[in-house]
Structure 1
């Protein structure tokens, strides 16, 4: 390992050489420590008090039956789902923000999440299928249809980032009306359950959701990381990217597919949680001071943000567990206002 200009490390093993920026490495390490701290706090906190030694005993399969149940079957899968959903949403948002070259570009702003939500809602309300397979198929189908529709409507001899966002915002509004109509036509119990799901919640999440998210991330994240260099090239502009030999259309199509799959997986397991995909990639860029989409830092930032938001939602009001979607809406609304104010100051809106 060698240092280069005191700003990055170069790791060499045989024919393999890897450059790691120092600041990025330190930020990643800090976020990993933060995530571990949030996991430990989540395992310790709750109405059923468990001490730190008892938590570790329960994780090792020892301790009382109640301790093993609350630690291994209730609290641990919930916080793991929060981490994995946050990572999936953040990477999806980072890809789309890079693709649109706009910090406002996010799957929950331009309609991809609404499409996935509408597809899952059709299964929940109309088909009465609440299984992971049924809602999964509905979410992927809905998100895919909206992605294709937005891409086709925004295409005019090429795809402009601002045009993509404007078309997506319009589609998002139409989907919101469609979702409201579905809820109005559903039975009262189905409508109430669907509305709770639409807020976004981690209540009752278990190992089935953890396994589903883990499988999706294992297969999809390598594709996302493989696209990062191409997305960085695309941010300099479409014509320069083409001049450098980049297959812009193919990169965009694969980026949208990866973004939709990650968003759909998150929605299947936790509902349409808002603003994590918007805020986490921008916070990651500012911390890492990276020029392009820092997908690893974005994933860690999204995981930490959502797990922390869920912990606060559970413990902020004594005796009341708020859905995590409420906490992210409050935090995300404040962040969106700050971001829009910054865009206005720059004269970009």
Structure 2
């Protein structure tokens, strides 16, 4: 498993790098297709290759992504390394270790005929092209198990914040900044007021964060236009809806300025109700394997589990590597736990299949409205 993790980390897969993503997809196909005994369907959107191994009678979907946040060439100065049982390198935790564990888990199962696998390549960009495919395959399944990393202490993820993304454009009027600034409508000033107004929408548990800002093009001109981006995270869909309404209702502070709001809710939260039945199955599998007791954690970050859980499909996240530091040069994973976590995933899949035969899991599935 460590050798495979090294190979996968060195097979770089930056966001949007079509050639690199296809090369990585080739490697993953060579590992997974022989284990499942069926070929992958390479689903292309804008040239991006999503890998799907559908099952005819699909009861479980194993879900993950093989793109990372790291640009091409990162491994040249930060190669995969292992020291004292800890592996480091770009994407080692998020989420290439989870994929390696997934491959091993599949090899441990005596029958994978009812297990589908989907590995996408645009999750780090917000899943713009893979979301319809994720939702389609989730709705074909009784349960979705997501191989994103666990918490640093090994807890599985039973809830995640939902997220929204906005790009707000301010339109003003240009004028000479020194000679007649009063004839302009300063888009930078309007932007400043709107940034403060947006930040005030945050409440406890809901973050509303202005991020990228830009205004003007030259220092001696009143800025004619400006833009800023906003990142919103919340534990409930009601909170996301509230912030969405208020952002779209914003009005200009300066006379003659204009606002255009783009974007909206990207994904609703993953709620505990869809995860807890699967957590119990994972705990049972862990006990049978003699593993330490498993906890369920609330994670502020979002993943593709938000999409599947929002459909009412039983979803459990955090079944990947035990590590931390994702998206940072401190990224790490504990390779001494790779085998146990692969066995845990296999045992959880087997538990889902058994629970479905007994109709227990289907009864636990909540009814929600798809949006």
Larger Rg: 2
Common fold: TM-score over 0.5? no
TM-score by length of 1: 0.26
Higher relative contact order by CA 8 Å / sep ≥ 6: 1 or 2? 1
Greater share of helix: 1
TM-score by length of 2: 0.25
Greater share of strand: 2
